[in-house]
Structure 1
Amino acid sequence: MVEPTMPAIALLQGLLAASSLLVGSLLGLVWQPRRAVSAAIMAFGSGTLISAIAFEIALPAYQSHGLWPLFFGFFCGGGLFTAATQYIDKLGGFLRHPANRRRFLFRRRQQEAESVLLDLSKIKALRGIPPAEAQAIVGAVEQLQLDADEVLFNEGDEGDWLGMIVDGEADVRVNQRSIAHLGPGEVFGEMALLTGEPRSASLVACSDMTVYRLDRSHFDELLAKSPHLASSLSRVLAQRLRSTNTSRVRAEENLAAWRRQAIDSIELDLSPAEEQSLAASLSAASAPLAIFVGTMLDNIPEAVAIGMTAHSPEVGTAFLLAVFISNLPESLTSSISMRQSGYSVRRVLTLWGSQILLSGLCALGGSLLQAYTPDATVALIQSFSGGAVLAMLASTMMPEAYELGGGMVSLATILGFLTSFSISAAQLD
């Protein structure tokens, strides 16, 4: 039978360990610490949790039931945590962590760039440009969706942009008479852009079209940025790419290789202003529930583990301290990130306050599980929680700490590990 006071102790320990979430969120709302300070705290917390997982979750499970619950539980817990957080991040949960936010925004930009490069690979005139330089065009072009019979420009208009046809067809007309037909992969308007003369013909869409537009200002920037790109683009646009004797199969192979190399060469970076602007625009469409659920996923495994070790105070103290320390920088940096993304102070505080309550309830549940389930199941659940916590460290806290502090975080991580190890060792003696 479980002692009546044990669930209450587990509840209090869960609330205590999670209380640093509210402390960190309050600090994040009024103070933005230096990067080195945030990195050191986060690395120290990571080190304490790694040690606590090893000596207060993994070791007891191994001593009682061997390796099988460790391997099965850790892999299942880590795998499920990773899959769940990736799904929640797609719904808007990525905003809860700065590292996740930057990684998500970078991946989004990269996917957009890949899409543009795949479209541009259909343009015959651009296949002579080295893939590594082709990515310079990605940020310079604008995609246009045109309807059938829509006029792209008229004869005599200023030639201030050129177009590249990805899909659809268009008629070239002089004095209302069709003189040429353009299809996918072709470029138009290049001569007026290069010479500065007015348009010599009109262009009318014959069907729905997808066109990429390159304005004169961006074209001039490309010429100034890359001499190799300038000579290649100018030569190909001015002369039009002529057909070669290469077989169709070989041409397709070359095109596929060009696409792969172009995508592999993508190097994107977001300035702080771009990151904040993009995050704010995405947060407007993201579900607050995703932020809540994502944060809950980060804290449930820790709370359950606290509850399951509450019956043995000589074992659980180091883990309790490790969770308390690790929660502080997590909520601090997350609160700053959410505020930058447009979330109100009230919403941020409500989020973390509810997480404290849920952590207490999860610790209570962990204590009841420990008391009323077989020992083998307890070992498996503890291993499952340990794998989830370790996955959280690997995907959020440790990358964030290294990004903020660089190599210096290694010493803080070691110090945190040794601190937690010393507490565990002293209790086991």
Structure 2
Amino acid sequence: MTQSSLTAAFIQGILGASSLVLGASLGVFWQQSKSFSAAVMAFGSGTLLSAIAFEITIPVYRESGFLPLLVGFIVGGSLFTGLTQYIDQKGGFLRKLASSRRYLLEHRQEQVSDILNRIAHIEVIQNLPARERQAIAPFLKPVSVQSGEVLCQEGTPGEYFYMIVEGEAEVLKNQKVVNTMGPGEVFGEMSLLTGEPRSATVIARTPMELYQLHQQHFNNVLTWSPHMAWALSRSLARRLQFSTDSRIAVEENLDRWRQQLIDRVELDLLITEDPTTLQGLVKRSAPLAIVIGTLIDNIPESAVIGMNAGEGHFGWSFLLAVFISNFPEALSSASGMKQAGAGKIQILGLWIGVMLLCGFCAIAGYFLQSNTPGLLVAIAQALSGGAILAMLASTMMPEAYELGGSSVVFSTILGFLLGFFISSSHI
């Protein structure tokens, strides 16, 4: 072990992580395009796959056989997955789009479950398929009103559809009470369906708990949920029995509304992201947890760089793969930290700190390679390889495909071939 070898390991670790600072710097001042991020991540994924195959898997197999690979890859993948899940729960989810997406879906699922429990007795919800109920729930806004408050005013434009969870309301037409509604019933859909002013006034008879659906979301729900459209038609038909309209006119209107709804039905139920929810999740993210999560992502890579430095050759393929893969991660993470309110100096300072820590991780990898029996070194290298594969499978590759679609295939292939070309010089 020499001072020059330690210095080389540290410099190589710094070099591999230097793209974190570069990506963070651009993320603070520039809003990157999705296609650019997708191409870089896909290319980096390809080079990392090549590096894992030729810089880790083949050397470990030649030196120690298959068992260290099996143990190391399984343990490394498990450790990486467990640690990153913990960090995400502590606010580090914003460091990558894929982890942000997972956290958003989990957070939304908790909200959806609570809403579904509260509206289970609503007449138009009871017979909906589970998938349609879950698609509707995120758009429902809870509303509390006191006795005597006006919920709908006869003759005014309609903007909301209501579901009654608790309490009672009176329906007035021409200032006369024509009906009373209670838990499980709905109102306000007629005006939204026809585009005409409210046909009656609805006043809270007691304190009430309701869920409110805006007209824009109401239209989307009917597009996604044919069962909801039929349920509203039946509910509307029953309510119109209390009105003075002609029964023939009612039936003609119902047929027309049903046909319009059927014509608009789409088979795919797409859940759009609510900007308000996303802003709330950004505020809940923790810059320190983001950095710790990124460091966990880079510890296996830096350790392998240090181990390679100790073997007497400069791992260009692996360094290139690490450099490219770190860039888009820091780019998107810095943008998210900026949205969360972190200052530019704070963001850049944190990423410079991560880069330096990666250098020390490379030194640790060099020490491990120099002072540990060959079998344990092989297991450590395989453990790092498993962690890197877990990172690729859970974040980089899904995120690249989500941003760029099938076009990322060619970037991944090019990255893999470049990694192979560089690695082949010392295979």
Normalising by the smaller structure, the TM-score range is 0.7 to 0.9
Residue pairs, 1:108-257, within 5 angstroms: 108-129=107-128, 134=133, 137-138=136-137, 141-144=140-143, 151=147, 153=149, 164-166=163-165, 186-187=184-185, 196-199=199-202, 203-205=205-207, 211-213=210-212, 229-236=228-235, 239=238
Residue pairs, 1:45-84, within 5 angstroms: 45-84=44-83
Deviation at 1:106, TM superposition (A): 4.1
Instruction: Give CA-to-partner distance per residue, 1:395-425, whole Å, 9 cap, x none.
Output: 2221222222222222221121121112222
Mapped to 2, the partners of 1:94 and 1:423 lie a distance apart of 34
Q: Kindly indicate whether the alpha-carbon contact (under 8 Å) linking 2:94 and 2:285 is maintained by their aligned counterparts in 1.
A: no
| 2:326 is the counterpart of 1:327 | yes
Q: For residue 151 of structure 1, what is the amino acid of its counterpart?
A: S
Q: Normalising by structure 1, what TM-score?
A: 0.76
Partner of 1:368: 367
Deviation at 1:285, TM superposition (A): 3.0
Distance 1:384 1:218, change over 3 A: closer
Mapped to 2, the partners of 1:173 and 1:28 lie a distance apart of 55
Identity of aligned residues (%): 44
Distance 1:76 1:197, change over 3 A: same
5+ residue gaps in structure 1? 241-263
Q: Kindly indicate whether the alpha-carbon contact (under 8 Å) linking 1:23 and 1:328 is maintained by their aligned counterparts in 2.
A: yes
With 397-406 and 226-235 compared, the bigger mean Cα shift is at 226-235
Deviation at 1:193, TM superposition (A): 8.2
Residue pairs, 1:234-383, within 5 angstroms: 234-236=233-235, 239=238, 267-270=270-273, 274-275=274-275, 278-314=277-313, 316-383=315-382
Instruction: Give CA-to-partner distance per residue, 1:74-98, whole Å, 9 cap, x none.
Output: 1111111112112212222111123
Q: Kindly indicate whether the alpha-carbon contact (under 8 Å) linking 2:161 and 2:187 is maintained by their aligned counterparts in 1.
A: yes
Q: Kindly indicate whether the alpha-carbon contact (under 8 Å) linking 1:162 and 1:187 is maintained by their aligned counterparts in 2.
A: no
Q: For residue 268 of structure 1, what is the amino acid of its counterpart?
A: I
Distance 1:316 1:155, change over 3 A: closer
Mapped to 2, the partners of 1:221 and 1:319 lie a distance apart of 48
Distance 1:412 1:221, change over 3 A: closer
Deviation at 1:35, TM superposition (A): 3.3
Distance 1:226 1:267, change over 3 A: closer
Q: For residue 147 of structure 2, what is the amino acid of its counterpart?
A: V
Q: Kindly indicate whether the alpha-carbon contact (under 8 Å) linking 1:110 and 1:268 is maintained by their aligned counterparts in 2.
A: no
Instruction: Give CA-to-partner distance per residue, 1:343-399, whole Å, 9 cap, x none.
Output: 322222112101111101111111111112221111111111111111111222212
Instruction: Give CA-to-partner distance per residue, 1:288-328, whole Å, 9 cap, x none.
Output: 22112111111111111111111124363321222122222
Mapped to 2, the partners of 1:214 and 1:327 lie a distance apart of 43
Q: Normalising by structure 2, what TM-score?
A: 0.77
Mapped to 1, the partners of 2:118 and 2:99 lie a distance apart of 29
Deviation at 1:234, TM superposition (A): 3.9
Mapped to 2, the partners of 1:36 and 1:218 lie a distance apart of 30
Distance 1:327 1:293, change over 3 A: same
Deviation at 1:198, TM superposition (A): 3.3
Partner of 1:247: none
Partner of 1:260: none
SS in 1 for 2:36: helix
Aligned length: 386
Instruction: Give CA-to-partner distance per residue, 1:19-46, whole Å, 9 cap, x none.
Output: 1211222233334444333322222211
SS in 1 for 2:206: strand
Partner of 1:14: 13
Partner of 1:420: 419
Deviation at 1:156, TM superposition (A): 11
Partner of 1:96: 95
Distance 1:401 1:374, change over 3 A: same
Q: Kindly indicate whether the alpha-carbon contact (under 8 Å) linking 1:126 and 1:233 is maintained by their aligned counterparts in 2.
A: no
Q: For residue 86 of structure 1, what is the amino acid of its counterpart?
A: Q
Q: Kindly indicate whether the alpha-carbon contact (under 8 Å) linking 1:131 and 1:265 is maintained by their aligned counterparts in 2.
A: no
Deviation at 1:281, TM superposition (A): 2.8
Instruction: Give CA-to-partner distance per residue, 1:245-276, whole Å, 9 cap, x none.
Output: xxxxxxxxxxxxxxxxxxx9863022xxx55x
5+ residue gaps in structure 2? 173-178, 193-197, 240-266
